[in-house]
Amino acid sequence: MENQVIHRKTRAAQAKMGLRERGKLERRRRIQAVARREFMEKGYDVATTRDIAALAEVGIGTLFTYAKDKRELLMMIVNDDLDEVSEQAERAINTDKSLLEQITAFFRPRYDYWAAHPALGRPIVREIMDVVGATDEPGPETARFYERRPRMVKALQQIVSRGQTTGQATKTASASLIASLFLTIYLTEVRRWLNQEKPDAVEGLARFRELADLAIRGVRPD
């Protein structure tokens, strides 16, 4: 009898815990959905965390348990998206193609994503620069955003290593250094491109491709 009572209490506790976790996930989903809509429609600078909390039907204190500030909210929105974009980018690589084609294919999903969400991309670029010079610890969503960078570099290194093997890239520099060059070109170009009123993915990727091709060929005269 005593064991039955214990089991019932255990099941009740588990059900309560499950309900609590589902509630947390639902609140997070509402906050993300509202924040995305507010940032896209009003703009990141105009939207406020107080309005987002009210529209998501949570207290401002509750909102801050999910994201400590507006930057974290922005990062929360794009992180899930960018995880999928990263997977698309890696699947897009065709090892039978040239070095330039592989590099271009790798970055195409990112241009497509930012072209579809420029209202999120522009503040992301600015906030990233602010984080670089900040002295305080980044929030978990911002840290998660940066944790994606080594994965990008690793994928680029693999592309470059194949290019070195086939004679399409120099072996006088490490694959890591060359991968960093391509990533730097992308980060610089995407900032310029996103500043346009209506960033076009085709135009942005074409410009990146030209610069990547120039990097591969070099600027020394033949």
pLDDT score of 12 more than 70? no
Confidence of residue 128 (pLDDT cuts 50, 70, 90): confident
What is the pLDDT averaged over residues 132-148?
A: 79
Of 1.10.10.10, 3.90.930.12, 3.40.190.10, 1.10.357.10, the CATH number of 69-221 is: 1.10.357.10
Confidence of residue 5 (pLDDT cuts 50, 70, 90): very low
Mean pLDDT for all residues in the chain: 89
pLDDT of residue 1: 55
What is the pLDDT averaged over residues 130-134?
A: 55
What is the pLDDT averaged over residues 105-132?
A: 89
Question: What is the phi-psi region of residue 58: left when phi exceeds 0, alpha when psi lies from -120 to 50, beta otherwise?
Answer: beta
Q: Smallest Cα–Cα separation from 85: which of 38, 39, 124, 140?
A: 124
Please name the residues in contact with 98: beta carbons below 8 A apart, sequence gap of 6 or more: 168
Query: Would you kindly state where each structural domain of the chain is located, as residue ranges?
Result: 1-66, 69-221
pLDDT score of 136 more than 80? no
Cα–Cα distance for residue pair 178/215, rounded to 1 Å = 9
Same fold flag, 1-66 and 69-221 = no
pLDDT of residue 20: 78
Q: What are phi and psi of 202, to 5 degrees?
A: -65, -45
**Contact of 123 with 39, CB cutoff 8 Å:** yes
pLDDT tens readout for residues 91-113: 999 999 999 999 999 999 999 99
Superfamily of segment(s) 1-66? Homeodomain-like (1.10.10.60)
pLDDT of residue 21: 87
pLDDT score of 70 more than 50? yes
Half-sphere exposure of 106 (CA within 13 A, CB side): 26
pLDDT tens readout for residues 183-202: 999 999 999 999 999 999 99
| Percent of residues, the chain, with pLDDT higher than 70 | 88
